[in-house]
Amino acid sequence: MSDERKLPYVMAFNEAVSQAMEADPSVFCAGEDIGAFGGVFGTFGGLQAKFGADRVVDTPISEQAIVGLGVGAAATGLRPIVDLMFMDFICVAMDQIVNQAAKLKYMFGGEATLPLTITTAGGGGLSAAAQHSQSLEAILCHIPGLKVVYPSTPYDMKGLMTACISEDNPTVMVKHKRLLGMTGHVPAERYEIPLGKANIVRAGKDVTVVAYGRMVHESVAAAEKLAAEGIECEVIDPRTLQPLDTETIVESAKRTNRVLVVHEAVRFGGLGAEIAAQIQEQAFDYLDAPVGRIGAPFSPVPFSPALEQHYIPDAKAIEAGIREALLRVGA
């Protein structure tokens, strides 16, 4: 509808945080430069002016301390949102994320709650080079105790971020840097999208494409081009990567009999391998061909814009993958 309220992806995040802070005084934010500066990508813009420096806290440059602050605050009754500027920097805080945040509830026999939301910016496409462009979500999804969320639209961003803040377990919200300026329909009221529920972005009967983050849009572009030839692709966005909505993906695979999984992360050891394994375990007899995978090559993300463009999968590569899936037959 032409009168739908539209917001950029970045402001959908900001509005979710603002509304959560208005509704619950236990919600606060902490991170590098998120105060007066509003964060390196402007995601926290205006929040310190609105809520004060006690609830929107600028921290030292220490990712381990930032997450440690969040773990302690969450364990003692607050609902912290802690920001790590780039996804690459989770590596600096892995002890706090993996051995503290993810384990605390288990270590206390379920008696403790840890309503901690870690936000970070992932993905490439800005020529930010190898230390500021990685997609490390598969590492996080491997850790029991963490929930990992990766919205592809402004609508999903607001609803999923609201759900993350309400969650009594640690969540990691990944914002894709190339989607921050994307504009879409976002209702003004506060709403939640349940964690662990996939979205069928485009219905189709010939092949299932599973993609998340920016790759959803590249997959839809490929699907629309193929539709002109009578090839109908079903595009599924998991939205939450951990827990994964395997049921929706498997049911789609049973309908279309062919599947392609797409992600921007390195192909080897990526989530595509896990999704493919779950499909073959639960829907092997329905498949007319092996599950295909598209991901980045086994290399650091290049700085050169031309090389980076070649490195990151796009609609053209996805289209080729879909055609291959349609041509292949089972062994």
Say if strands 147-149 and 240-242 run parallel, antiparallel, or are unpaired: antiparallel
Of the listed 132, 176, 217, 263, which one is catalytic?
132
Taking the CB of residue 138, how many other CB atoms lie within 10 A of it?
Answer: 21
CA separation for the pair 50, 27 (Å, rounded): 14
3-state helix, strand, coil in the chain (%, to 5): 40, 20, 40
Determine the Cα angle at 154 with ends 149 and 157, to 5°. 25
What are the Cα distances from residue 205, in Å, to 166, 201, 279, 326?
36, 13, 17, 12
Whether 217 is catalytic: no
CA separation for the pair 288, 281 (Å, rounded): 14
Q: Please say whether the beta carbons of 120 and 164 come within 8 A.
A: no
Q: Please say whether the beta carbons of 313 and 295 come within 8 A.
A: yes
User: Mind telling me the catalytic residues?
Assistant: 132
